[in-house]
């Protein structure tokens, strides 16, 4: 009974010592050196020396913390060098084994020789396994068997070397089972840690790969929707801006806009059922189909009809998309639209009045084949904004579970008159974010605003009579006031036209008779374009050389000063003769 108690006490002490070594070894697995080992990179000399020193100290600790039994030391000394060999190769294993072995040799005792030798061999054996497996760590079972065999070898070597046999046998009988068990257990635990770490790193690599793929998917998805603004810098008749923010890396919301011809803008906003990668794929298909089916000869209802039938075909996933689609006639502001179960857009009038578009029947696309969609129309006037969105706005939820709702959206829209499309979108988005107050985004958010600016141009026809110029000047001043053109720019424009038209009327029609002169003025962004057309005799005023302003007035040739002033006041000026007409085009940047 006493012998059993002694063995049990020995077990407990060896397990304690083994636990310390394993904890320290676990800490080591989180170091940069072991990270290089895990990634199968070349271990540097400094890293090898560090591993040798650390596991050598582990081995010494295994000896120091051992228990003296009849002149022999029951210990976990071989565990450190064995682990060193398995993770660092033969040199690391032998190096750690030599440190532990030499230390044991200096302590003496009847087993000092076989114990010292077995410690070195444990490191060597671990290193050979490392080489055989080309750096891949052994399985948990393999590690346990290897360590148990090493300790069995340790016991056998002691029986062979130590004399007399009668003295060593009782010692081996007392320590063999505890030492084999604790060293094998320690190696098993360490192997478990290593394999768990390997799985952890593999999981991390897989996660990073998925995140990378999702990032690429997001970039691809965001490249599908137009996001360069202003989208149509050469079209001053309208302004638009849009934003799409997926709730996940990728989402199912979509928007698009494109010119069907020079006078028709097609636009759409949609929301696919679900979120994530499946929704994003369905979104891409929907957007592609809409653009492919859009035809100036078709109404929005017919476009949705064709897209719906395409989506219904082989739709085994059962996904669907709500879709609002409209076509703007740019010259008139007329909009024809159809709605496939989507949120009804708002119309913000220039004077601040807020209207909801007509509610028309329509089912989400991809649900029922051959569903008959219908159309409605509305006219937007200069300064009006059409505001489209997905339910990620109205169903945005704060931390108390409250929804942003249509009511709050309408409140946010009131008072937005006078802002451009970008500002209107940003205001809606900011109002939503303030409401949710940091709560996680639960759905994709999309906003598209089209602000109609109308044609910022005028045409004026005058007879070839000087008195007509005064009426033209009044018309230009009214146009300038409407479009907030600076006074100095208006002055330069009127002065230039007065000079050019006076010359044309006075000298362009030597045969006499009544003729018509056309003046066309267009505000294109920040550029004022002024064009004059007349059917007088061929005359290019730009061929006239600039007067030498350095000469006295008496010495200067007559003529040329007027066109010189025009050149100074305009940023660009060009002349061409086309269809028996003199055409002069001037451009002035608004400052």
Q: Set out the domains of the chain in order of their start, with CATH numbers.
A: 2-202 (1.10.1760), 225-452 (3.60.40.10), 457-589 (3.30.565.10)
What span, in angstroms and rounded, lies between the C-alpha atoms of 545 and 233? 35
Which pLDDT value is given to residue 481?
Answer: 86
- Residues 6 or more apart in contact with residue 356 via CB below 8 angstroms: 344, 345, 346, 347
Which pLDDT value is given to residue 529?
Answer: 92
H-assigned helices in 255-397: 276-293, 300-312, 391-394
- Residues 6 or more apart in contact with residue 213 via CB below 8 angstroms: none
- Residues 6 or more apart in contact with residue 179 via CB below 8 angstroms: 14, 74, 75, 76, 151, 154, 155
What span, in angstroms and rounded, lies between the C-alpha atoms of 370 and 278? 24
Q: Give the bridge partners for 467, in sequence order.
A: none
Q: Are 333 and 454 in contact, with CB atoms under 8 Å apart?
A: yes
Which pLDDT value is given to residue 215?
Answer: 67
Which pLDDT value is given to residue 556?
Answer: 45
Strand arrangement of the beta sheet that strand 376-379 belongs to = 253-261, 264-272, 321-329, 334-340, 376-379
Which pLDDT value is given to residue 546?
Answer: 60
Question: Mean pLDDT by 10-residue block, N- to C-terminus, for the chain (591 residues)?
Answer: 53 60 65 62 80 88 70 73 90 94 91 93 94 89 93 92 88 82 83 82 79 66 81 87 83 90 94 81 90 94 96 88 96 94 95 94 95 96 93 92 92 86 95 91 90 86 93 91 87 92 90 92 86 92 65 48 84 92 92 68
Whether cis (ω within 30° of 0) applies to the bond prior to 230 is yes
Which pLDDT value is given to residue 54?
Answer: 86
Which pLDDT value is given to residue 518?
Answer: 95
Which pLDDT value is given to residue 551?
Answer: 45
Sort strands 67-69 and 72-74 into parallel, antiparallel or unpaired: antiparallel
Which pLDDT value is given to residue 555?
Answer: 47
Tokens of 152: 């069995």
What does the DSSP assignment read for 28-52? Answer: HTTSHHHHHHHTTPPPPHHHHHHHH
């Amino acid at each position: 009974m006493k012998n059993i108690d002694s063995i049990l006490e020995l077990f407990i002490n060896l397990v304690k010592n083994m636990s310390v070594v394993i904890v320290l070894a676990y800490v080591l697995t989180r170091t940069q050196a072991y990270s290089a080992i895990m990634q199968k990179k070349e271990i540097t000399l400094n890293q090898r020396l560090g591993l040798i020193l650390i596991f050598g100290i582990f081995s010494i600790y295994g000896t120091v913390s051992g228990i003296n039994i009849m002149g022999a030391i029951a210990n976990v000394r071989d565990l450190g060098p064995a682990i060193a060999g398995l993770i660092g190769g033969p040199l690391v294993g032998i190096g750690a084994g030599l440190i532990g072995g030499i230390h044991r040799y200096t302590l003496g005792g009847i087993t000092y020789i076989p114990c010292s030798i077995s410690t070195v061999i444990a490191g060597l054996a671990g290193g050979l396994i490392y080489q055989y497996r080309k750096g891949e760590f052994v399985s948990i079972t393999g590690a346990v068997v290897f360590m148990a065999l090493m300790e069995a070898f340790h016991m056998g070597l002691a029986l062979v070397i130590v004399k007399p046999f009668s003295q060593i046998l009782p010692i081996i009988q007392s320590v063999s089972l505890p030492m084999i068990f604790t060293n094998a257990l320690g190696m098993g635990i360490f192997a478990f840690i290593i394999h768990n770490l390997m799985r952890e790193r593999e999981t991390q690599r897989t996660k990073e790969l998925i995140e990378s793929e999702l990032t690429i998917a997001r970039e691809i998805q965001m490249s599908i929707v137009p996001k360069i603004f202003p989208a149509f810098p050469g079209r001053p008749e309208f302004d638009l801006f849009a934003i799409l923010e997926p709730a996940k890396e990728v989402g199912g919301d979509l928007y698009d806009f494109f010119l069907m011809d020079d006078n028709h803008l097609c636009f759409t906003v949609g929301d696919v059922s679900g979120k994530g990668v499946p929704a994003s794929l369905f979104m891409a298909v929907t957007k592609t189909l809409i653009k492919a089916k859009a035809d100036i000869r078709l109404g929005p209802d017919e476009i949705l009809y064709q897209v719906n039938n395409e989506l219904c075909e082989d739709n085994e996933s059962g996904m669907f998309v709500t879709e609002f689609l409209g076509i703007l006639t740019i010259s008139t502001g007329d909009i024809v639209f159809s709605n496939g179960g989507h949120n009804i857009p708002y119309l913000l009038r220039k004077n601040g009045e807020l209207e909801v578009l007509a509610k028309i029947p329509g089912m989400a696309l991809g649900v029922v084949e051959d569903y008959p969609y219908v159309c409605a129309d509305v006219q937007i006037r200069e300064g009006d904004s059409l505001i489209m969105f997905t339910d990620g706005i109205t169903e945005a939820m704060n931390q108390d579970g409250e929804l942003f709702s249509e009511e709050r959206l309408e409140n946010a829209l009131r008072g937005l008159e006078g802002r451009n499309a970008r500002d209107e979108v940003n205001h809606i988005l900011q109002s939503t974010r303030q409401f949710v107050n940091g709560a996680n985004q639960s759905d994709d958010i999309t906003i598209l605003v089209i602000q109609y600016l109308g044609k910022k141009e005028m045409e004026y026809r005058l007879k070839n009579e000087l008195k007509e110029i005064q009426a033209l000047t009044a018309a230009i001043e009214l146009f300038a006031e409407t479009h907030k053109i600076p006074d100095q720019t208006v002055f330069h424009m009127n002065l230039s036209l007065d000079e050019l038209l006076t010359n044309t009327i006075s000298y362009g029609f030597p045969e006499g008779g009544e003729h018509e002169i056309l003046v066309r003025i267009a505000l294109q962004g920040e550029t004022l374009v002024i064009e004059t057309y007349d059917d007088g005799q061929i005359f290019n005023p730009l061929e006239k050389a600039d007067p030498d302003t350095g000469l006295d007035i008496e010495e200067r040739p007559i003529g040329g000063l007027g066109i010189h002033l025009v050149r100074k006041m305009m940023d660009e000026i060009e002349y061409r003769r086309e269809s028996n007409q003199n055409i002069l085009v001037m451009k002035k940047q608004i400052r």
